[in-house]
Chain A
């Protein structure tokens, strides 16, 4: 007996199944980003980003390390290339430039072998831009281990041996978040942690002096560079967030009044 297969799902017009509203959302963000770039280029005002304590604290952390004559430790997190890592790399660029200007030793540790050469290049370039190419030590940008806890134990060793005064943990973190945060606190580091993993953020909150929660990390490049164009993209992102918030509110009201919001869910799943 031959069983009839389920009919392939069809999308709206020429869109792939269940991709229409995804496309609308992406297109909307692109349009808003474009509008904000145009505004920035035309010199029109762009709303400023609110104060983010964790990013403000980076200068304080590097300053403290400089005064104590001890190194700064920076890590771009556990994941390979993704939004969190790109945000961490943007922060690294700023940290490396500041460390180069202050003549403070910067140790960068990597778990991902693919991310390692990029961090090395960012730090090298930062020292070059700061006019101190001779101060760049490639041995301070290290690949440690691809193994999660191999990497963790190697960083614990660095905390013990090299005694950094500041520990900056950006990117995406998993079960090692608490181990590294607590070991950093024990080593007496001023710590800034950033994470988007909701199951691990609280560990950074209790162990770090400053924590960037979720999206705050993605605003780092705009916040630190103060570039109107980049700030504009954060504003565009907030506009989409407001829109989604309104949609959530509408869905809640709909579900409360009608008993469920199945029709809305079905409509938005097209």
Chain B
């Protein structure tokens, strides 16, 4: 049990150490080859682990159908789709005519429909957030109005020079805020990685942090 938790921590530590060694120090072509090889190992491991997800999906839906849980018919449909798609992909290859037809005419269309819901959700989210509740919401509302007018051709006709205001909002306060968040997030990610490398953060191996 102890080894089951210690082993992944050791693998992470040694791998991170090797990557840093070959990234920071000049080992010429050898360094590049080692990093490329490690990248390949990472891809192979991911592909093996990839199988675990679909196995869980199939097990869950078989359980739903077998136990006749509520809406089990949806699970049955999911299983049929999984089987049919697997057969199509296996027989026709990932770039085959039938496969591409299925992907282009079914999967991408459904995906596009979900993505298109963003248009409606932007309206409802904007309605909620642009209410003049407090000072921050007021600033948000004013900025949004200026930016919308600055981007639309009619804005310049109503208020001459508004496109410059919009440009200023985007390039000065907006850019400064975004860069600040990015900088903080990058350093935060950096420190989080060090916690994982040093084994201080170990919840991902199924244990308490730093226990």
Given A93-B203, A139-B63, A230-B201, residue A241 in contact with residue B53 (CB < 8 A) = no
Given A86-B196, A86-B204, residue A114 in contact with residue B50 (CB < 8 A) = yes
Query: Once the chains are docked, how many angstroms separate the CA of A144 from the CA of B178?
Result: 32
Query: Once the chains are docked, how many angstroms separate the CA of A16 from the CA of B25?
Result: 5
Query: Once the chains are docked, how many angstroms separate the CA of A257 from the CA of B193?
Result: 38
Query: Once the chains are docked, how many angstroms separate the CA of A143 from the CA of B58?
Result: 10
Given A92-B203, A150-B111, residue A182 in contact with residue B121 (CB < 8 A) = yes
Which among B52, B71, B184 is the interface contact of A241 at CB below 8 angstroms? B184
Question: Residues of A contacting B57 with CB < 8 Å?
Answer: 142-144
Question: Residues of B contacting A121 with CB < 8 Å?
Answer: 205-206
Q: How many A-B residue pairs have CB under 8 A?
A: 199
Given A15-B24, A161-B71, residue A33 in contact with residue B194 (CB < 8 A) = yes
Contact indicator A214/B184 (Cβ below 8 Å): yes
**Whose C-beta in chain B lies nearest to the C-beta of A153?**
B114
A246 in the interface, Cβ–Cβ < 8 Å?
no
CB distance from A177 to the nearest CB of B (A): 10
- B residues near A (Cβ < 8 Å) are 20, 23-27, 31, 46, 49-54, 56-57, 60, 63, 71, 107, 110-111, 114-115, 117-118, 121-122, 124-126, 128-129, 178, 181-185, 187-196, 198, 200-201, 203-210
Contact indicator A214/B198 (Cβ below 8 Å): no
Given A15-B25, A83-B188, A121-B206, residue A149 in contact with residue B111 (CB < 8 A) = yes
Question: Residues of A contacting B194 with CB < 8 Å?
Answer: 29-30, 33, 233
Contact indicator B191/A236 (Cβ below 8 Å): yes
Most chain B CB within a 10 A radius of its CB, from A80, A149, A181, A219: A149
Which among A30, A113, A150, A214 is the interface contact of B181 at CB below 8 angstroms? A214
Question: Residues of B contacting A179 with CB < 8 Å?
Answer: 114, 117-118, 121
Given A86-B201, A221-B201, residue A237 in contact with residue B114 (CB < 8 A) = no
A67 in the interface, Cβ–Cβ < 8 Å?
no
Question: Residues of A contacting B189 with CB < 8 Å?
Answer: 82-84, 196, 218
Which among A37, A118, A237 is the interface contact of B191 at CB below 8 angstroms? A237
Query: Once the chains are docked, how many angstroms separate the CA of A122 from the CA of B111?
Result: 31
CB distance from B32 to the nearest CB of A (A): 10
Query: Once the chains are docked, how many angstroms separate the CA of A182 from the CA of B120?
Result: 10
**Whose C-beta in chain B lies nearest to the C-beta of A248?**
B183
Contact indicator A11/B63 (Cβ below 8 Å): no
Question: Residues of B contacting A213 with CB < 8 Å?
Answer: 181
Contact indicator A230/B206 (Cβ below 8 Å): no
**Whose C-beta in chain A lies nearest to the C-beta of B64?**
A139
A206 in the interface, Cβ–Cβ < 8 Å?
yes
Which among A83, A178, A241 is the interface contact of B192 at CB below 8 angstroms? A83
A173 in the interface, Cβ–Cβ < 8 Å?
no
CB distance from B143 to the nearest CB of A (A): 11
CB distance from A120 to the nearest CB of B (A): 8
Contact indicator A26/B111 (Cβ below 8 Å): no
Question: Residues of B contacting A219 with CB < 8 Å?
Answer: 188
A147 in the interface, Cβ–Cβ < 8 Å?
yes
Given A15-B26, A86-B192, A178-B125, residue A113 in contact with residue B184 (CB < 8 A) = no
Most chain A CB within a 10 A radius of its CB, from B110, B118, B188, B210: B188
Question: Residues of B contacting A60 with CB < 8 Å?
Answer: none
A59 in the interface, Cβ–Cβ < 8 Å?
no
Which among A124, A144, A230 is the interface contact of B210 at CB below 8 angstroms? A230
Contact indicator B201/A217 (Cβ below 8 Å): no
Contact indicator B114/A149 (Cβ below 8 Å): yes
**Whose C-beta in chain B lies nearest to the C-beta of A181?**
B125
CB distance from A255 to the nearest CB of B (A): 15
Contact indicator A87/B23 (Cβ below 8 Å): no
Q: Which of A17-25, A44-52, A98-106, A260-268 contacts B (4 or more CB under 8 A)?
A: A17-25
